[in-house]
Amino acid sequence: MNLTASATIAARGLDANITVEAGRTLALLGPNGSGKSSLLGVLAGLLRPDAGSARLGESELFEVSLSDARWPRPDERPIGLLGQDPMLFPHLSALDNAAFPLRAAGASRSDAREAALTWLRAVDAESLAASRPGALSGGQAQRVAIARALAAEPAVLLLDEPLAALDVDAAVTIRALLATVLRGRTAILATHNVVDASMLADDIAVLHDGGIVETGPTRDVLARPQHPFTARMAGRGLIPGVRTQTGIQLPDGTALAGVSFASNTPTADAAFDDAAPGTDALLTVRPAAVRVTLPTPVGPPSGPNAITATVTAVETHAESLRIWAGGLIADLDHELARDQAPTIGDTVTLHVDPAQAVVYRALPPQ
């Protein structure tokens, strides 16, 4: 069953529409405070929006408008919610935690425990059955919380930053577990982490300033972002321009030739190869395909595919210095950069390798 939802919460600046196709996982990608949790809370019934509605297949989930207000309680919705914090009931064993939704639905104690054990087995937590939540590690507790959420057999599973509270090792194993759990399940994953989104989600909706700025299959959205925010999250450079016969012309007049053209999604726009010059286009390029040189005293930069820009951010990585300038991201080798490392405000020249740059159609804002 497809899930479609819209919600407005004025106090949190949220105004978003999302669609999740049956059996697919949608990542709601956005920074902390962008309204991801609020949107999940609205779907779960924990947070009432100022206005909004949602449908699950043929049936209505809720409807809140000026004229209508149908707002079922959380327990009346076929929606499960797994949070960042496992929130296991501290007075119940792991087994009884997993049995909780079954008992609440009216199953006998023995039936509920038997089914709960199956769910614990499914998340590889059978050995923890007798443990109290206080005795579990963060990763173990999240395993049990996943079993408990699944035991309720929700039609849609919401996951609110399920890996954010875990240490690195636990996050790796729980991410792998979620990848199996989410296969074929209708789910929404709220995350600020592009790794989680790309590993766990079929589709992605990017939330920025309280609204969805773009949506589509995860791989396509991250490889060919439309919005600068998405590009930043994906770690790719993104510059708007216009299509030329052989490439793209950037706003500063630089023309790049010899780039590869790509089609957009979700529209199978295979025809961008043949798009007319002058069409709005976007250039994206990975940091590895951008070379940085420091300004020479000899006037303006020369050579093809060179862009002059001001450094807006600098970040130290293990073996390189990552700089942001003019919409592009570039990695400088530490050894080379040591003497004359650019700092914020410096002017640098960025040389884009056209063979690795991708140009595609700029879609009108959603």
Determine if 73 is a binding residue for other proteins (CB under 8 A): yes
Is the CB of 119 or the CB of 261 nearer to other proteins?
119
| Interface residue with other proteins, options 30, 49, 52, 80 (CB under 8 A) | 80
Contact positions with other proteins (CB under 8 A) in 152-171: 152
**Residues 123, 269: Cα–Cα separation, whole Å:** 41
Is the CB of 89 or the CB of 304 nearer to other proteins?
89
* Residue whose token pair is 């106090």: 11
* Residue whose token pair is 């940085």: 292
Determine if 149 is a binding residue for other proteins (CB under 8 A): yes
| Interface residue with other proteins, options 24, 36, 113, 148 (CB under 8 A) | 148
Determine if 100 is a binding residue for other proteins (CB under 8 A): yes
Determine if 134 is a binding residue for other proteins (CB under 8 A): yes
Determine if 91 is a binding residue for other proteins (CB under 8 A): yes
Q: CA 250, 252, 254, 260: dihedral to nearest 10 degrees?
A: -10
Please report how many Cα atoms fall inside a 13 Å half-sphere around the Cα of residue 208, on the Cβ side: 15
Name every residue whose Cβ is closer than 8 Å to that of residue 211 and which is 6 or more positions away in sequence: 14, 15, 16
Name every residue whose Cβ is closer than 8 Å to that of residue 187 and which is 6 or more positions away in sequence: 20, 24, 25, 26, 156, 157, 158, 159
| Interface residue with other proteins, options 90, 297, 300, 303 (CB under 8 A) | 90
Report H helices in the chain. 36-44, 94-104, 109-122, 138-151, 168-182, 194-200, 218-223, 228-234, 334-337
Is the CB of 105 or the CB of 130 nearer to other proteins?
105
Determine if 146 is a binding residue for other proteins (CB under 8 A): no
In whole angstroms, the minimum distance from the beta carbon of 77 to other proteins comes to: 8
Determine if 104 is a binding residue for other proteins (CB under 8 A): yes
**Residues 274, 216: Cα–Cα separation, whole Å:** 23
| Per-residue binder mask for other proteins (CB under 8 A), 203-222, x = binder | --------------------
Task: Specify the stretch interacting with other proteins by CB under 8 A; choose among 132-140, 256-264, 333-341, 353-361.
Answer: 132-140
| Interface residue with other proteins, options 1, 51, 87, 242 (CB under 8 A) | 87
Positive/negative CA dihedral, 163, 46, 136, 127: negative
Task: Specify the stretch interacting with other proteins by CB under 8 A; choose among 68-76, 197-205, 234-242, 280-288.
Answer: 68-76
Bond before 266 cis per omega within 30 degrees: yes
Positive/negative CA dihedral, 43, 45, 47, 51: positive
Q: Count residues near other proteins (CB under 8 A).
A: 25
Determine if 101 is a binding residue for other proteins (CB under 8 A): yes
Determine if 333 is a binding residue for other proteins (CB under 8 A): no
**Residues 17, 54: Cα–Cα separation, whole Å:** 9
Determine if 354 is a binding residue for other proteins (CB under 8 A): no
In whole angstroms, the minimum distance from the beta carbon of 11 to other proteins comes to: 16
Task: Specify the stretch interacting with other proteins by CB under 8 A; choose among 95-103, 118-126, 328-336, 348-356.
Answer: 95-103
Q: Are 214 and 230 in contact (CB under 8 A)?
A: yes
Is the CB of 89 or the CB of 127 nearer to other proteins?
89
Task: Specify the stretch interacting with other proteins by CB under 8 A; choose among 146-154, 172-180, 189-197, 314-322.
Answer: 146-154
Determine if 130 is a binding residue for other proteins (CB under 8 A): no
Which token pair is 165?
A: 């509270």
